[in-house]
């Protein structure tokens, strides 16, 4: 069933669709691009990118030579982006030989080159949102037990299960049901366009040291509000971490 779900939400590289909301990108308070809506282009299968027509770009673009070839969109041309007195070297690119003609005159910007992205009036984090990804978090009565080296690290019958398109269910546990004394924060963080910024822990239990096998969101985005402050364990990260849901061990999907 999990494989069927993944196939259902997989978008082929090179797919082009019109967006459905207004998107703006800013750098240092200067409006760089404004589209209502932009094109959504899947250069790879993971998530789309925003592409803007010339009339939707509000700053000067200067040719900066050839860029890398995209397997799905073909050769690229790099463009410097002029924002006030600043020049963002190679921060935009165009694909003049893209298979879909309407893409050929549009440009896309390196996500990190702009410091603020808005979909309508909501800040978009990490990358463009995929309209086919859905995130649902809901209270659950399942029994979740986490074991490392024969020692129980966590046990709860009140998890929050979070389901994201194309991903296995994740069970987030209240900290009072987790042996937090066995968890040590690390400097690792990850970023999700739908849930926000996650911080990680190393589990030290049963004579084992399992690095970055647990994570949590202290200040999640709206899709993940129900998991705020909870702890999730990652059995695929290390085979020595055992996670059981209703007595059945979670295996690598």
Q: pLDDT tens digit string along 205-251? A: 999 999 999 999 999 998 899 999 999 999 999 999 999 999 999 98
Same domain, 100 and 140: no
Q: What is the pLDDT of residue 10?
A: 72
Tell me how far apart the alpha carbons of residues 36 and 125 are, in angstroms, rounded to a whole number.
19
Residue at 1 is within a domain:
no
Q: pLDDT tens digit string along 135-176? A: 999 999 999 999 999 999 999 999 999 999 888 999 999 999
CB 91 within 8 A of CB 33: no
**First-last CA distance in the chain:** 10
Q: What is the pLDDT of residue 253?
A: 56
Of the residues 71, 97, 123, the one at which a domain ends:
123
Contacts of 175 (CB under 8 A, 6+ apart): 229, 230, 231
Same domain, 141 and 241: yes
* Residue corresponding to tokens 């000067």: 60
Residue at 241 is within a domain:
yes
Residue at 211 is within a domain:
yes
Same domain, 118 and 139: no
Residue at 9 is within a domain:
no
Average pLDDT score over the chain = 94
**Domain, as residue range, for 23:** 16-123
Residue at 187 is within a domain:
yes
pLDDT greater than 70 at residue 7: no
Q: pLDDT tens digit string along 57-91? A: 999 999 999 999 999 999 999 999 999 999 999 99
pTM of the predicted model as reported, rounded to 2 decimal places: 0.83
């Amino acid at each position: 069933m999990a494989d069927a779900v993944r196939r259902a939400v997989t978008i082929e590289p090179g797919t082009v669709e019109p967006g459905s909301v207004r998107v703006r990108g800013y750098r240092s308070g200067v409006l760089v691009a404004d589209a209502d809506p932009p094109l959504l282009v899947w250069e790879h299968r993971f998530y789309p990118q925003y592409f803007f027509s010339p009339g939707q770009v509000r700053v000067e673009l200067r040719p900066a030579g050839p860029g890398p070839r995209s397997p799905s969109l073909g050769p690229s041309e790099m463009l410097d982006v002029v924002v006030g007195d600043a020049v963002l070297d190679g921060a935009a690119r165009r694909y003049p030989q893209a298979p879909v003609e309407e893409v050929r005159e549009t440009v896309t910007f390196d996500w990190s080159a702009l410091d603020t992205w808005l979909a309508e009036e909501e800040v978009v984090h990490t990358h463009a949102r995929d309209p086919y990804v859905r995130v649902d978090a809901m209270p659950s009565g399942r029994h979740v037990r986490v074991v490392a080296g024969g020692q129980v690290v966590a046990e709860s019958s009140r998890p929050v299960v979070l389901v994201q398109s194309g991903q296995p269910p994740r069970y987030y546990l209240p900290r009072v049901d987790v042996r937090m004394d066995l968890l040590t924060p690390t400097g690792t963080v990850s970023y999700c366009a739908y849930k926000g910024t996650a911080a990680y822990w190393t589990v030290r239990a049963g004579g084992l040291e399992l690095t970055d096998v647990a994570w949590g969101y202290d200040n999640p985005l709206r899709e993940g509000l129900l998991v705020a402050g909870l702890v999730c364990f990652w059995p695929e990260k290390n085979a020595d971490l055992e996670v059981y849901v209703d007595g059945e061990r979670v295996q690598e999907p």
